Amino acid sequence: MTDSLKIPDLKDKAVLVTGASTGIGAALAAAYAAQGSKVALHYNSSREAAEALAARIRDAGGTVFLVKGDFSVTADVERVVEESASHFGALDGLVNNAGGMIGRLAYADMTDAYYDKVMDLNARSVITASRAALPWLKRKGGFIIHTSSIAARNGASGGAGLYGSSKAFVSNVTRGMAKEFAPFGIRVNRSRRGVSASPRTVSGPICSSRRICSAAM
């Protein structure tokens, strides 16, 4: 946790970061905690990693609440948001970072089941979490940040096309929500990342090139 950047506006704010046990989400959760935010740290399968991160945040003097849920399941998404906001008595920010490729499948081999898995996790969850957070965010205003991908603009290959399409959906949803939520004092933005070092990319085919992985680091 770094002291090089201070953002006073984030101190004591209650922020839910989804998909926060590893990778980008973990870095975001740690960064918000370093700014004095109260962090709701969502995870699904990576319990040990989530608990280890929570311990580091607490050891550094931060406040963190661990909450588990499968973000491909609507009821879980709604519960995670509600439990996080209820725990802190407020919700000032939502970072929709949970998502994943699920697997690589060419469009020619697409199935309804695969389509549903990818879109439920990467697209539907963003709308569900934002909708669930809205009544809390309306109280004092706040922010929503969606994690998108450069694949939303460029498209994706190697069986990742549907994942890229789901992120294009997220980018467009961001624009619509920004217009719709602005009257409530709620800012909506998205982060569109490229290749970054995470457990998924380091162990996957994208890191078959050491040069690419080194750049991502």
Contacting residues for 131 by C-beta, under 8 A, at least 6 apart:
none
Question: First CA to last CA across the chain, in angstroms?
Answer: 17
Which residues are identified as catalytic? 163
Distances (CA, A) of 5 to 2, 53, 64, 97: 7, 20, 20, 22
Q: Estimate the crossing angle of helix 125-140 against helix 74-88, to 10 degrees.
A: 20
Edge-to-edge strand ranges of the sheet holding 142-149: 63-68, 38-43, 14-17, 93-96, 142-149, 186-193
In the block, tokens 């973000």 appear at 71
